Amino acid sequence: MRYLTAGESHGPGLTAIIDGVPAHLNVTPREINRELKRRQVGYGRSERMRIEKDKVEILAGVRNNKTTGSPIALFIKNKDFRRSLPPINIPRPGHADLSGVLKLNQKDARDILERASARETAARVACGAIAKMMLGEFGIRAFSHVIQVGQVKTNKPIDVNKAKLLERSPLRCFDPRVEKLMKKEIDNARKKGDTVGGIFEVIYTNVPPGLGSHTQYDKRLDGRLAGALMSIPGVKGVEIGLGFRVAPLPGSRVHDEIFYKNKKFCRQTNNAGGIEGGMSNGENIILRAAMKPIPTLGKPLKSVDLIDKRPRAAHKERADICVVPAGSIIGEAVVAFELTSVLQEKFGGDSIEEMIKNYQSYITTLRHF
């Protein structure tokens, strides 16, 4: 499976094409729109989130709410579409502006930032929504939550049995006390004309062992998932399981001991985050991503005019103060797509029924190992 997106922040809309989805998968616009709405909410978002009410239009590949096996085409209309936009000659530190104009040999950063904008992630969330529908056929579920905003961090682990509570939380934080402090962190940044970043965690449960491969670098599941998360605008670091916390610890406190209970192999800890040797090991897959603060500031940083090369304050556009909650939803989506890809590689099949049959045969084999 693969997907491509097209479209700009203030263009007519965003388009996505997904290739390789098996036939007969149940796909409804309602479920995709639900995921799009989840991406838009969150304390610290800009006024554009009150303008856009993202709705998907399925243009191809789905008939009577069932995939046909052909490429799926999706379209999300931009309500903030503008036919004429002024040029931007002053790049923003931390954004794609300067690197893009140097790469493409032009003076107007508008053509760079319109595509580099995180608005593009709406199309990725739509693609991820279809991937999550496919994962649901195999009982694989997604969860995400925010564990840090600025200097404020929670150590309270997510309870996946109560994860629905997060959908009512403006910061997707499982700790109400800490969430109040996170809001203050965002409010303080807004007053100062500044922005804040943070860390979100994505968890996928009921993932079978053996997805991915140890045989080649580009088949390793951890590399593919880390790459997917790093491709999200603003993400600067990714951890799997204990992540960087393994560095100071001895091996005896890092590696998850193996047990055999109820006719299956299991672990009592999950420091590996569900992945060993480039393959899923049957435990929950646990990933974290660190997001930098939004580069467009209320009080702009120093920059240089692309035309006359004189110092200027960086260009200022309408922007969020904090997007970490939205980042967690995007994280769910991009991870879902990679998991469906390796699931399809493992179990093949041109239809969802064929894949499920192959999957069930594999699970039966594991039970009789």
CATH number at residue 18: 3.60.150.10
The answer to whether 269 touches 256, Cβ cutoff 8 Å, is: yes
Q: Is 220 helix (H, G, I), strand (E, B) or coil?
A: coil
CA dist., res. 92 & res. 273, Å (int): 36
Name the nearest CA neighbour of 219 among 231, 207, 227: 227
Number of domains the chain is built from? 1
CA dist., res. 118 & res. 103, Å (int): 20
Q: Residues for the chain: how many in total? A: 369
Name the nearest CA neighbour of 293 among 236, 357, 222, 221: 236
CA dist., res. 369 & res. 365, Å (int): 6
The stretch 300-324 carries a mean pLDDT of: 90
Domain that holds residue 25: 2-367
CA dist., res. 354 & res. 17, Å (int): 23
Name the nearest CA neighbour of 125 among 197, 214, 32, 216: 32
Q: How confident is the model at residue 41 (pLDDT cuts 50, 70, 90)?
A: confident
- DSSP secondary structure of 276-301: ETTEE-SSPEEEEEEEPPPS--SSPP
CA dist., res. 124 & res. 333, Å (int): 7
- DSSP secondary structure of 300-345: PPEEE-TTT--EEEPP-----S--HHHHHHHHHHHHHHHHHHHHHH
The answer to whether 315 touches 91, Cβ cutoff 8 Å, is: yes
Tens of pLDDT, residue by residue over 313-340, are: 998 876 789 999 999 999 999 999 999 9
Tens of pLDDT, residue by residue over 58-116, are: 999 999 999 999 999 999 999 888 888 899 999 999 999 999 999 999 889 999 999 99
Token pair in block for residue 15: 């388009």
Token pair in block for residue 349: 């099949």
The pTM score is 0.95
Per-residue pLDDT for 361 more than 70?
A: yes
